[in-house]
Amino acid sequence: MSHLDNTPSTPGKFKMEKSPYVHNRLRWHSSLAKLTCWSFMFLGLILIFFFRSPSSNPLPQDPSRRSLRTYNWGGPVWEKRVRSSARIRSRNGNGISVLVTGAAGFVGTHVSAALKRRGDGVLGLDNFNDYYDPSLKRARQALLERSGVFIVEGDINDSGLLRKLLEVVAFTHVMHLAAQAGVRYAMENPASYVHSNIAGFVSLLEICKSANPQPAIVWASSSSVYGLNTKVPFSERDTTDQPASLYAATKKAGEEIAHTYNHIYGLSLTGLRFFTVYGPWGRPDMAYFFFTRDILKGKSISIFEAANHGTVARDFTYIDDIVKGCLGALDTAEKSTGSGGKKKGPAQLRVYNLGNTSPVPVSDLVSILERLLKVNAKRSIMKLPRNGDVQFTHANISLAQRELGYKPETDLQTGLKKFVRWYLSYYSGGKKAAG
Ligand SMILES: NC(=O)c1ccc[n+]([C@@H]2O[C@H](COP(=O)([O-])OP(=O)(O)OC[C@H]3O[C@@H](n4cnc5c(N)ncnc54)[C@H](O)[C@@H]3O)[C@@H](O)[C@H]2O)c1
C-alpha cells in the first residue's frame, strides 16, 4: 500500500522542486506513462477483437461456415481455363460437356478421368474440405490436371459461383458427386450433412433449373436409403422410409427433392444408389482402406458382427464398374425440358442401384487383405453398434442392367489386389502417413 499512499489524488496537486531539468523530466515521464497506458489499452482492444471475432478461427467448428470461406474465382484467365477444360475434344458429335461436382473426391476423380479419356468436356468443382486428409484430394487434383481437367475450388452452396460457371459454359450434363459421405461421422458433425447433401443439392438444382439450356443431372444417392428392415436383394421398388442414419436420411431427402425439381421445372434427373465403392484413390474413412493401414501398422482392427454372431456383409463394388454405370447414366439421360425456370413438358426421372450383386462378409474382406499384404491381422470382434450401419447390403441391379447396360465385372479379390498395389505405391511402403 505504501507506494499508493505517496501518489497524489490529482496530478495538479503534485508538489515538486522548481528545477527546469526535473520539471521537464517529470513532464516527459508523465507523457511517456500516458502513451504507454494508451498503447496497452489499444493493444488490449485489438486482442479482444481478434480473439472474439469468429473469422479468426481457422478451422470453424460449424461446417455450414465452410460456405463463407472465400475462394478465388473469376477473371479472364480463370474463364479461359474453365472453357478449355469443359471443351469437347472428340467423339464425332456425340460428346458431352459435364460439370462434375466433388471432382477431387474418390468417385469424382475416376469419373472425370474416364470422361476426359473418351473426349468429353469436363470441369470439376470441389471445396477440398478436411473430412479426410485433403492432401489425398490435392493428389487426385494433380492427377486430373495432368489429363487436362481443371477443378474449380468452391462450394456448391455458392450460387454466385455456380451461376457464373453455367454462364461461361453451356454444360449439357452435371454429374453431382459432391456430398458429405460416411455414416458414423453424422453423430460428430450433423450440420455438414445438411450443408452439403441438402442445402448444397438445392442450391445446385436452383441454378440448373434457371439455366438456359438446363443441363441433365445425374447424382449420387446411396444404398443406405434402403435402411432398416429391407429384404435383400434391395430393389428400386422397395420402400425407403426407414433410414438408419442421418447420412441415409439426407440421401433419401435428395431423392425427394429431385422429384420436386423434375416435377415443377422439367429437370432431367437420374439418381444412382452406389453400394460400398472401393478401389485405388479410395476414401481413407472406409473399412477396406483403414483395415489395410492398420494391418500394415500391426494395429488391431475391429470387425463387427450382428446379434447372435450374425455376419455383417457388404456388396462391395469396384470403382471401374461404378464409373461405367455413371457413364451409362449420363449417356442415356434425356434432355431437361424446361428453360429459364419454366417447365415445357414432362422430363425424365430415374433411380438405379449400382452394386456388384455378391455380398461378401467383412471377415472375408480381411482374409483377402491378409493374403495380399502378407501380414496377419489382429482381429477384434465387436458388436455392430446401432449408430447407422446396417447388417447386410445386396443390390438387385436388373434395372440398371436393362436400361444403362450396367454389368459389374470385377470381383472383390481382383479389385482389392489393384487397391493394395495402389496403396503401397502411394504411401511408399508406409513412409507417408495414411488418412
Ligand atoms: N464411396 C462409396 O462407397 C459411396 C457409397 C454410396 C454413395 N456414395 C456417394 O457418392 C458420392 C461420391 O462419394 P465419394 O466416395 O467419392 O466421396 P468423397 O468424399 O471422396 O467425395 C466427395 C467430394 O465432394 C467434396 N464436397 C463435399 N461437400 C462439398 C460442398 N459443399 N461443395 C463442394 N464440394 C464438396 C469433398 O471435398 C469431396 O472431395 C457422394 O455423394 C457419396 O455420398 C459413395
Calculate the CA 174 to chain-centre distance: 16
Query: Is 34's pLDDT higher than 80?
Result: no
Q: Please indicate whether residue 290 or residue 1 has the higher confidence score (pLDDT).
A: 290
102 CA → ligand 1 middle, Å:
6
158-176 confidence digits (pLDDT tens): 999 999 999 999 999 999 9
Higher pLDDT, 430 or 362: 362
Q: What is the pLDDT of residue 86?
A: 98
The per-residue pLDDT for range 172-183, each reduced to its tens digit, is: 999 999 999 999
Distance 263 CA to ligand 1 centre (A): 26
Residues 6 or more apart from 430 whose CB is under 8 A from it?
A: 296, 297
Tell me the CA–centroid distance for residue 217 and ligand 1, in Å.
Answer: 16
Ligand 1 site, residue 362, Cβ cutoff 6 A: no
Contact 216, 175 (CB under 8 A): no
Whether ligand 1 lies within 6 angstroms of the CB of 179 is answered as yes
CA 124, CA 339: separation in Å to the nearest integer?
24
Q: Which of 132, 185, 226, 247 is catalytic?
A: 247
Pick the residue whose CA is nearest to atom 31 on ligand 1. 196
222 C-beta closer than 6 A to ligand 1: yes
3-state secondary structure of 245: coil
Using 50, 70 and 90 to split pLDDT, how confident is the model at 246? very high
If pLDDT is split at 50, 70 and 90, which confidence band does 320 have?
very high
Q: Is the pLDDT of residue 191 over 60?
A: yes
Q: 128: Cβ below 6 Å to ligand 1?
A: yes
- Confidence class for position 38, pLDDT limits 50, 70, 90: low
Residue 92 confidence class, pLDDT cut points 50, 70, 90? confident
Judged by average pLDDT, the poorest of 52-61, 105-114, 211-220, 409-418 is 52-61
CA-nearest residue, atom 12 of ligand 1: 177
Chain centroid to CA 271: how far? Answer: 17
Pick from 70, 73, 106, 137 the residue to mutate for probing ligand 1's pocket: most ligand atoms within 8 Å of its CB.
106
- 18 pLDDT more than 60: no
Residue whose C-alpha cell reads 511402403 in the numeric block: 429
Centre of ligand 1 to C-alpha 126, Å, is: 10
In percent, the amount of the chain with pLDDT more than 90 equals 75
Gap between the Cα atoms of 427 and 419, Å rounded: 12
Residue 54: the pLDDT is 32
CA atoms within 13 A on the CB side of 102: 24
Confidence of residue 31 (pLDDT cuts 50, 70, 90): low
247 is catalytic: yes
What is the three-state SS of 167-222? HHCCCCEEEECCCCCCCHHHHCCHHHHHHHHHHHHHHHHHHHHHCCCCCEEEEEEE
Pocket flag, ligand 1, residue 185 (CB < 6 Å): no
Most confident of 29-43, 61-75, 382-396: 382-396
Give Cα 34 distance to the centre of its chain: 54
Residue 27's pLDDT is: 52
Mean pLDDT computed over every residue of the chain: 87
Q: Give the tens place of pLDDT for each residue, 230-243.
A: 899 999 999 999 99
187: number of Cβ within 10 Å? 11
Say if residues 243 and 236 touch (Cβ distance below 8 Å).
no
Alpha-carbon torsion angle 164, 167, 173, 175, nearest 10: 0
User: Which of 41-50, 79-88, 297-306 comes out lowest in average pLDDT?
Assistant: 41-50
Q: Per DSSP, what are the bridge partners of residue 110?
A: none
Say if CB 119 and CB 95 are below 8 A apart. Answer: yes
233 phi/psi in degrees, rounded to 5: -70, 145
Q: Of 429 and 268, which is predicted with more confidence? A: 268
**What are phi and psi for residue 44, nearest 5 degrees?**
-60, -45
Q: For residues 372 and 65, what is the distance between their CA atoms, to the nearest angstrom?
A: 42
In CATH terms, 80-275+319-355+394-409 corresponds, of 2.60.110.10, 3.40.50.720, 3.40.50.1970, 2.130.10.10, to 3.40.50.720
- Say whether pLDDT at 69 is over 90: no
Report the separation in Å between the CA atom of 178 and the middle of ligand 1, taken as the mean of its atom positions.
5
Average pLDDT, integer, range 116-144 = 98
Does 224 have pLDDT greater than 70?
yes
CA torsion through residues 179, 184, 188, 190, sign: positive
HEC per residue, 131-157: CCCHHHHHHHHHHHHHCCCEEEECCCC
User: Is the distance from the beta carbon of residue 162 to the nearest atom of ligand 1 less than 6 Å?
Assistant: no
pLDDT at 71: 85
CA distance 306 to 310: 4
Side chain identity at residue 105, one-letter code: G
Q: Is the peptide bond before 233 cis (omega within 30 degrees of 0)?
A: yes
Q: Which helix (H) or strand (E) holds 398?
A: helix 398-404
Contact 126, 200 (CB under 8 A): no
* Mean pLDDT, range 20-46, rounded to an integer: 51
- In testing the pocket of ligand 1, which one of 110, 127, 201, 353 has its CB within 8 Å of the most ligand atoms? 127
Ligand 1 within 6 A of 106 CB? yes
Cβ of residue 226 lying under 6 Å from some atom of ligand 1: no
The pLDDT of residue 387 is: 78
Which residue owns the Cα nearest ligand 1 atom 42? 181
Q: What is the pLDDT of residue 53?
A: 35
Q: How distant, in Å, are the alpha carbons of 53, 131, 233, 257 from that of 275?
A: 43, 20, 12, 21
pLDDT at 29: 52
Q: Confirm or reject: Cβ of 250 under 6 Å from ligand 1.
A: no
pLDDT of res. 36: 57
User: What is the pLDDT confidence band of residue 435, given thresholds at 50, 70 and 90?
Assistant: very low
Q: Which residue has the cell 487383405?
A: 369
